[in-house]
């Protein structure tokens, strides 16, 4: 288990380091203004669809369905073609009416800004069908407990964007956004290429080619599998999309605030996502195939043992990350972004947003762990109900906090929704089961370590402040 977690974590860390290099170069080139807002809008829309349709929901429904299917090749080919066709049609529609798609996510933009952003949205959206194909192949690799390719492949996107920034160094800000947009698409092509290579090396090529070859004549034998997949997928899609829909609403509401607010959310969320991806997402990806198999084979005690080990591993890491991120939020933001067009005022605004996000790191991270149990037991409808309550909490608090707190209020609303979602997920997992994990001597060590870390960081913060 831990080998797979560390493989994922190292790959994610490598990718995120490149991502931070990309972000600091973007901050230096564009700062926090209308052009940075436009690029983040253009890149956010395909990413929103990717996370809702492709990553979480697809993987969490496909792996149990693939393991259960007696005709894996035909089933895989059928699911791939259905999803790719839908995503390709959405992409074509966005390219035909990009202004409408832009307005849908940034209603606060005026007509001139929407017209300026629309071409970038159209270009960036071609990343969506590419990354769906990557996600499909990645899911097959996960089934074989191969995580390396997927963990490291995101680095290719970041390298592509870094090169785009390098080649557009002396260009206008309009041209820089064009370079970045084409860099996104090229990065998707590179990610797809390495996954195709990995699939071939692991011997999946014959299975997939056979599935496509015999799909037309054998599609009737997978009707039951396909129907069950479809019934499970849509609740899973909604259950998995709360964070993404919240991010969409963040951008929607931030577009009504002062210029740069969308960028503050983006930069702060990038920092917040590092420990979340490095620890929580890496762990959940590594555990899910095995937990799903244990539950499928009616070995729930083994699945619970895996979850317990992962719970304490995550809790220690995420608690340390939360304390460090909250106390040193200003120093981290200053170190990463304050240069070029990114000014000290931008650092202060991004810091306030980051601190609100960091409060929710622990519930967001641990919820991903316990959601594995729900999806492995095919409780997608329960997860969808949890997501609905969580989203309702976000909307209520976002509308309440945006006036007194501005953009940082949106981040705090997201954190509150994370606590709501975590609480409801624990109820679904079983409160007794959760407390059986929690009532452990490790809890005492956790509290002691948290207090010690806080005591160490506070004077360290004062020491750093002298040199900033």
- Mean pLDDT for the stretch of residues 243-248: 72
pLDDT at res. 163: 93
Whole-number Å distance between alpha carbons of 395 and 347: 26
pLDDT at res. 464: 66
Whole-number Å distance between alpha carbons of 414 and 198: 37
Whole-number Å distance between alpha carbons of 438 and 441: 9
48 against 11, higher pLDDT: 11
- pTM for the full predicted model: 0.72
pLDDT at res. 107: 64
393 against 336, higher pLDDT: 393
Dihedral of the alpha carbons of 175, 177, 180, 184, in degrees to the nearest 10: -130
The token pair at 85 is 């066709």
- Mean pLDDT for the stretch of residues 182-203: 92
Give the C-alpha distances (Å, rounded to integers) separating 211 from 133, 143, 151, 226: 16, 17, 27, 14
For residue range 109-122, list pLDDT tens digits in order. 777 878 888 888 88
Q: Report the candidate in 134, 126, 125 with the shortest Cα–Cα distance to residue 198.
A: 134
Say if CB 8 and CB 285 are below 8 A apart.
yes
Q: Which residues contact 458 (CB under 8 A, 6 or more apart)?
A: 327
Region of 430 (left: φ > 0; alpha: ψ -120 to 50; beta: rest) is left
pLDDT at res. 270: 84
Whole-number Å distance between alpha carbons of 50 and 87: 9
User: pLDDT tier at 105 (50, 70, 90 boundaries)?
Assistant: low
Q: Looking at 65-69, 356-360, 419-423, which range is the least confident one?
A: 65-69
The full set of domain ranges for the chain reads: 2-465
Residue 354 has pLDDT above 90, yes or no: yes
pLDDT at res. 231: 78
pLDDT at res. 325: 92
Dihedral of the alpha carbons of 208, 210, 213, 214, in degrees to the nearest 10: -120
User: pLDDT tier at 348 (50, 70, 90 boundaries)?
Assistant: very high
For residue range 250-295, list pLDDT tens digits in order. 877 887 888 788 889 988 988 998 888 888 887 887 787 778 778 8
Query: How many other CB atoms are there within 10 angstroms of residue 206's CB atom?
Result: 10
Which residue reads 């929580």 in tokens? 280
Q: What is the mean pLDDT of the chain?
A: 84
Q: Report the candidate in 188, 240, 269, 190 with the shortest Cα–Cα distance to residue 16.
A: 269
Say if CB 357 and CB 419 are below 8 A apart.
no
For residue range 393-426, list pLDDT tens digits in order. 999 999 999 999 999 999 999 999 999 999 999 9
Q: Looking at 1-15, 81-95, 134-148, 258-272, which range is the least confident one?
A: 1-15
pLDDT at res. 320: 94
Whole-number Å distance between alpha carbons of 191 and 195: 6
Residue 243 has pLDDT above 80, yes or no: no
pLDDT at res. 328: 92
Gap between the terminal Cα atoms of the chain: 42
178 against 378, higher pLDDT: 178
Whole-number Å distance between alpha carbons of 102 and 75: 35
For residue range 121-177, list pLDDT tens digits in order. 889 889 989 988 998 998 888 888 787 888 788 889 889 999 998 888 888 888 888
Q: Which residues contact 297 (CB under 8 A, 6 or more apart)?
A: none
Say if CB 275 and CB 326 are below 8 A apart.
no
pLDDT at res. 420: 94
């Amino acid at each position: 288990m831990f080998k797979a977690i560390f493989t994922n974590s190292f790959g994610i860390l490598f990718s995120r380091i490149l991502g931070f290099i990309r972000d600091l170069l973007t901050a230096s080139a564009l700062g926090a203004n209308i052009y940075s807002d436009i690029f983040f809008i253009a890149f956010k829309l395909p990413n929103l669809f990717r996370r809702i349709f492709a990553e979480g929901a697809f993987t969490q429904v496909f792996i149990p369905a693939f393991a259960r299917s007696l005709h894996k090749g035909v089933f895989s080919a059928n699911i791939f073609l259905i999803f790719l066709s839908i995503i390709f049609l959405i992409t074509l529609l966005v390219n035909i009416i990009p202004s409408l798609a832009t307005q849908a996510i940034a209603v606060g933009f005026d007509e001139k800004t929407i017209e300026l952003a629309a071409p970038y949205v159209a270009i960036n959206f071609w990343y969506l069908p590419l990354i769906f194909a990557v996600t499909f192949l990645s899911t097959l690799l996960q089934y074989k407990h191969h995580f390396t390719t997927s963990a490291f492949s995101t680095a290719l996107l970041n390298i592509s964007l870094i090169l785009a920034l390098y080649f557009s160094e002396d260009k206008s800000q309009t041209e820089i956004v064009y370079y970045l947009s084409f860099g996104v698409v090229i990065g998707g092509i590179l990610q797809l290429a390495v996954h195709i290579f990995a699939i071939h090396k692991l011997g999946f090529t014959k299975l997939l080619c056979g599935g496509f070859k015999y799909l037309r004549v054998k599609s009737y034998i997978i009707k039951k599998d396909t129907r069950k997949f479809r019934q499970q997928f849509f609740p899973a899609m909604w259950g998995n999309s709360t964070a993404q829909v919240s991010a969409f609403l963040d951008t929607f509401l931030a577009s009504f605030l002062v210029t740069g607010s969308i960028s503050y959310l983006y930069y702060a969320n990038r920092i917040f996502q590092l420990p979340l991806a490095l620890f929580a997402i890496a762990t959940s990806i590594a555990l899910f195939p095995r937990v799903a198999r244990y539950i499928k084979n009616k070995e729930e005690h083994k699945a619970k043992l895996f979850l317990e080990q992962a719970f304490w591993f995550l809790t220690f890491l995420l608690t340390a990350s939360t304390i460090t991120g909250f106390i040193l939020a200003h120093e981290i933001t200053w170190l990463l972004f304050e240069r070029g067009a990114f000014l000290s005022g931008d650092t202060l605004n991004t810091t306030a947003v980051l601190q609100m996000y960091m409060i929710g790191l622990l519930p967001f991270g641990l919820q991903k762990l316990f959601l594995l149990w729900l999806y492995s037991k095919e409780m997608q409808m329960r997860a969808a109900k949890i997501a609905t309550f969580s989203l309702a909490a976000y909307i209520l608090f976002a509308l309440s906090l945006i006036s007194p707190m501005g953009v940082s209020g949106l981040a705090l609303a997201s954190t509150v929704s994370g606590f709501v979602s975590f609480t409801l997920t624990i109820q679904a997992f079983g409160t007794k089961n959760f407390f059986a994990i929690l009532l452990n001597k490790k809890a005492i060590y956790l509290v002691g370590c948290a207090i010690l870390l806080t005591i160490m960081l506070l004077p360290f913060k004062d020491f750093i402040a002298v040199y900033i």
